[in-house]
Amino acid sequence: MGSLTGFLQERFAAACPAGWTCTHEVDVLDAEWQRVLGYSARADVLLTRDDGQKRLWIEFEVSRADPVANHAKFATSHLFQPQAPTDTFVAMVSSHVTRGRRHLAANTILLMRRVGMRAFQTMLLPTISPSDIKRLNHLSIAELLSQSIDTNAEIARAMLVSSAISTSNEYELHYAGDLFDVFSNVQRWNDEVASARGQELWGKRTIKYFVYDAATGLFAPSKFCAYINALPQDGAGFLANYQLMSMPLYTSLDESEPKFDGNLAQTHLQRQLNMRLTTPEESPHISQSFTTWQAFHANHIRVHPSGPLFLEAPSWFS
C-alpha cells in the first residue's frame, strides 16, 4: 500500500462530518468467519452515522493492478455474513486505475447489487492525473499534507453518490457515481430510442447539454446520463440494464421528481466526475461527430436555440 491511502485515512478522520464517526482498517467478517474462510474484507475507512442508521464502508483503489479484489472480498463476505440494511459499500477509484480495470470493478458493483448489497463506485481525486497520482503515492504523509488535497470534497462525493435522491418500490434514484455509469447510459439512450416503444416515450425534446462518448462516437442528453437506478435486486429476473437509466423511468421521473433536473445533472457531471464542458467552436471534432449523430436523431432531438454544449470525459480517461 502506498502512502496515499494512509494519508486519506488520516484526513477523512480529521475532516469527519458532524454527526458521524470515522475509523479505519475495520474487518467486515467476525473472527469466526475469518478463520473459516481464511480471508477478510477490511474497509480503508468506515464512516458511521451517530444514530446508527448508516455506515459507509469505503475502499480506496489508488493504483491497484486488480481493483476488483476488494469488491470480491466484500461480495463473498456478504454470502456468509450478510451486509446489514444500514451498510453501504463505496469504492473510490483513482485515475491511475486503467479504463478497462475500473470498468470491470464498476461491473462488479452491479453483481454486488445482484446479491442484494448496497454498493457504489465513484471517482477518487478525479482532477488529478494518473502520473500525479503515482507521484503522490510515493510521497510521505508529511509531504502529502503540503499538496492541498481536498479530502472534504472526497468525503462529500462518497456521501453524495451513496445517498438516494428518491425511492419507490421500483427504483432507487442516485446520481451516477462513475464514468462507467455515464457512458453506459449513453449507450442505453441510443439503444432505447431505436425501438418503437422508446421513441413513443421520448417523443421529441429540446436538449442543450449532451454527453459525448469518444469510444463509441455516440451522444446522449446529459440528464439521461447523470442518474442511475441503484435498487438492489435478488430475483431471477435481474438485468444489468435495470440499474441504468431507462426511458420508462426517465419519463416517469420527468413529471414527478423535482431533483431530476437538467441543470443539476450537468453540474454533477462537471463537479463530481470532472467531465469537461466544451462548445462546438472549442471542439470542432466533437461538433462534426455531433452533426452526423444529430442528423440520424432529428426526429427525437431538437437542439436548444443557443446551440449544443458537450460534456466529455477528463483528459486522463482513455
Which tens digits make up the pLDDT trace of 255-268?
788 899 999 999 99
Specify whether 294 is located in the same domain as 226.
yes
Question: Is 129 within a domain?
Answer: yes
Task: Output Rg (C-alpha) for the chain, integer angstroms.
Answer: 20
Q: Which pLDDT value is given to residue 231?
A: 87
Q: Which pLDDT value is given to residue 243?
A: 74
Specify whether 143 is located in the same domain as 283.
no
Residue 237 has pLDDT above 80, yes or no: no
Of 163, 193, 213, the residue at which a domain comes to its end is 163
Q: Which pLDDT value is given to residue 244?
A: 86
| 132-141 own/partner pairs: CB under 8 Å, 24+ apart | 133/4, 133/62, 133/63, 133/94, 133/95, 133/96, 134/63, 134/96, 136/4, 137/2, 137/3, 137/4, 137/62, 137/63, 137/96, 138/2, 138/3, 139/3, 139/4, 140/3, 141/3, 141/6, 141/7, 141/10
Higher-scoring residue by pLDDT: 22, 234 = 22
Of 106, 135, 163, the residue at which a domain comes to its end is 163
Pair 153, 124: CB distance under 8 Å: no
Q: Which pLDDT value is given to residue 186?
A: 98
Residue 182 has pLDDT above 60, yes or no: yes
Among 189, 179, 184, which Cα is nearest to 224's? 189
Amino acid identity of 62? V
Domain span holding position 254: 175-312
Question: Is 318 within a domain?
Answer: no
Specify whether 50 is located in the same domain as 120.
yes
Q: Which pLDDT value is given to residue 169?
A: 86
Question: Predicted confidence band at 295 (pLDDT cuts at 50, 70, 90)?
Answer: very high
Assign residue 177 a region: left if phi > 0, alpha if psi is -120 to 50, beta otherwise? alpha
Residue 242 has pLDDT above 90, yes or no: no
> How many domains does the structure of the chain reveal?
2
Specify whether 226 is located in the same domain as 139.
no
Question: Predicted confidence band at 157 (pLDDT cuts at 50, 70, 90)?
Answer: very high
Q: 158-172, 228-242, 269-283: which has the highest mean pLDDT?
A: 269-283
Specify whether 285 is located in the same domain as 264.
yes
With cell 441543470, the residue in question is 263
Question: Is 39 within a domain?
Answer: yes
Q: Which pLDDT value is given to residue 133?
A: 96
Specify whether 274 is located in the same domain as 186.
yes
Pair 211, 182: CB distance under 8 Å: yes
Mean pLDDT of 277-303: 97
pLDDT in tens, 62-99: 987 778 989 999 999 999 999 999 999 999 999 999 99
Residue 307 has pLDDT above 70, yes or no: yes
pTM: 0.94
Question: Is 169 within a domain?
Answer: no
Q: Kindly report the CATH number assigned to the domain that includes residue 88.
A: 3.40.1340
Percent of the chain surpassing pLDDT 90: 87
Q: Which pLDDT value is given to residue 1?
A: 55
Question: Is 128 within a domain?
Answer: yes
DSSP reduced 3-state for 210: strand
Mean pLDDT of 293-315: 96
Can you tell me the distance from the alpha carbon of 29 to that of 19, in angstroms, rounded to the nearest whole number? 25
Percent of the chain surpassing pLDDT 70: 97
Question: Is 168 within a domain?
Answer: no
Specify whether 183 is located in the same domain as 290.
yes
Can you tell me the distance from the alpha carbon of 62 to that of 92, in angstroms, rounded to the nearest whole number? 8
Specify whether 153 is located in the same domain as 283.
no
Specify whether 295 is located in the same domain as 203.
yes
Q: Which pLDDT value is given to residue 254?
A: 83
Mean pLDDT of 179-205: 96
Specify whether 58 is located in the same domain as 131.
yes
Question: Is 317 within a domain?
Answer: no
Question: Is 170 within a domain?
Answer: no
Question: Predicted confidence band at 204 (pLDDT cuts at 50, 70, 90)?
Answer: very high
Q: Which pLDDT value is given to residue 130?
A: 95
Angle, CA of 241, 242 and 247, to the nearest 5°: 90
Of 140, 163, 186, the residue at which a domain comes to its end is 163
Specify whether 108 is located in the same domain as 137.
yes
Residue 238 has pLDDT above 70, yes or no: no
Angle, CA of 278, 279 and 284, to the nearest 5°: 105
CA torsion angle 175 179 185 191 (round to 10): 180
Can you tell me the distance from the alpha carbon of 299 to that of 14, in angstroms, rounded to the nearest whole number? 53
Specify whether 252 is located in the same domain as 297.
yes
